[in-house]
Amino acid sequence: MWTELVGSGGSTNLVLASPVAGPSINLGGENNITDLAVNGEQDVEISQWSGWGWNPTYVELGVTSLDGQSLDGVTVVGKDGVEHALSGEWGRIPQTFDWNAQSMTIKASGRNVQVHWWATTEPNPSNLGAEHSGTVLDLNKAHTIEVSQWSNWGWNPNNIGFGFSAQDGMALDGIVVIDSDGNSHSLNGEWTSVNRPFYWQPVKLVIPAQPGRSIKVEWWAAG
C-alpha cells in the first residue's frame, strides 16, 4: 500500500494507490474541508472539537461528490457498524455524540469526494424552507436550524441573513445563536439579524434552549 497526504490551506488531499484501507485521517475542526481520493476503504476520525457553549447530541459527516458522478456506490460505515449507502451529489450521515472520538469508514471504488463535519442537536435540523419563510420555534429545547432551499438566483449571494423576532411579548435579550464557527451571537430588542457567509452549501445555526421563550426566524440572500 502507498498513501500520499498533502495539506493545502484548510483542505487535506489524499491519494490512495491500493484498495487496502489507509491510515485513519483526522478531519480536523468543525466544518474543515477534506478532499479524499478513495479506492477501497478509508478510515476517518472526528475528534477536534472546541469548547462549545452548548451540548451537541449528534455530529454529522457531509460527503460531496467531486468527480461529477452520483454518490451511488459510495457507503459510509458508522461507529455503530451500520453501513449507510449514499446517492445523489451530496449526502449526510448522523452519529450520536458522547464527547469521544468518532470513527467512520468510507468505502468506494476509485472515487473523489469531499467531506466535512458539524455538530448538531438533532440529525434532521429544522429547515427554514424557502427564502422569507417564517418559522416559529419553541425554545423549551435546543434547535439546529438550516437553510438549504434556495432557488436558482440570477446572481451569487455572498451571505445568508437570518432575522429573529420575539413571539412572546418579551425582548430577545438573553437568547443567543451559535454559528458553524462556534461564535455566539447575542440577540436583543424586538428584532435582531445575523449574517453568515454563503458557499452554495447548507447554512446552519444552533439555538440553545431558553425555557419559556418563543421566537420567529426568517432568512434571505444578501450581497
pLDDT at 108 over 90: yes
What is the DSSP secondary structure assignment for residue 2, as one 8-state letter? -
pLDDT of residue 13: 43
- For residue 161, what are the CA distances in angstroms to 174, 176, 185? 20, 16, 13
Section 77-103 average pLDDT: 90
pLDDT at 119 over 50: yes
For residue 152, count CB atoms less than 10 angstroms from its CB and return exposed for 0-12, middle for 13-18, buried for 19 or more: exposed
Section 57-68 average pLDDT: 92
pLDDT at 14 over 60: no
Cell of 58: 449528534
* Residues 138-177 pLDDT 10s: 998 888 999 988 877 889 999 999 999 999 999 999 999 9
Q: Of 105, 120, 135, which residue sits at a domain end? A: 120
The single residue listed with the C-alpha cell 500520499 is 4
Across 16-20, 116-120, 124-128, 144-148, least confident range: 16-20
Q: Are residues 115 and 132 in the same domain?
A: no
- For residue 114, what are the CA distances in angstroms to 54, 65, 71, 145, 219? 27, 6, 11, 23, 27
DSSP string, 116-183: EEEEESSSS-EE--STT--EEEETTS-EEEEE------SS--SEEEEEEEESSSS--TT-EEEETTS-
pLDDT of residue 140: 87
Q: Are residues 55 and 104 in the same domain?
A: yes
Which is nearest to 209 in space by CA: 162, 170, 176? Answer: 176
pLDDT of residue 22: 60
Q: Are residues 213 and 199 in the same domain?
A: yes
pLDDT of residue 152: 77
The single residue listed with the C-alpha cell 418559522 is 135
* Residues 28-53 pLDDT 10s: 998 899 999 999 999 999 999 877 77
Q: Of 120, 151, 172, which residue sits at a domain end? A: 120
The total of structural domains in the chain comes to 2
The single residue listed with the C-alpha cell 472546541 is 50
- 137: containing domain: 126-222
Cell of 205: 445555526
Sorting pLDDT into bands at 50, 70 and 90, what band is 8?
Answer: very low
CA 209, CA 143: separation in Å to the nearest integer?
A: 7
Q: Are residues 112 and 217 in the same domain?
A: no
Q: Of 98, 120, 142, which residue sits at a domain end? A: 120
The mean pLDDT of the chain is: 87
Section 8-25 average pLDDT: 52
Q: For a pLDDT cut of 70, what percent of the chain falls above it?
A: 90
pLDDT of residue 69: 93
CATH code of the domain containing 28: 2.60.120
Q: Are residues 21 and 72 in the same domain?
A: yes
Cell of 50: 472546541
Q: Are residues 109 and 138 in the same domain?
A: no
CA 104, CA 45: separation in Å to the nearest integer?
A: 6
pLDDT of residue 18: 41
CA 164 to chain centroid = 21
Q: For a pLDDT cut of 90, what percent of the chain falls above it?
A: 58
CATH code of the domain containing 197: 2.60.120.380
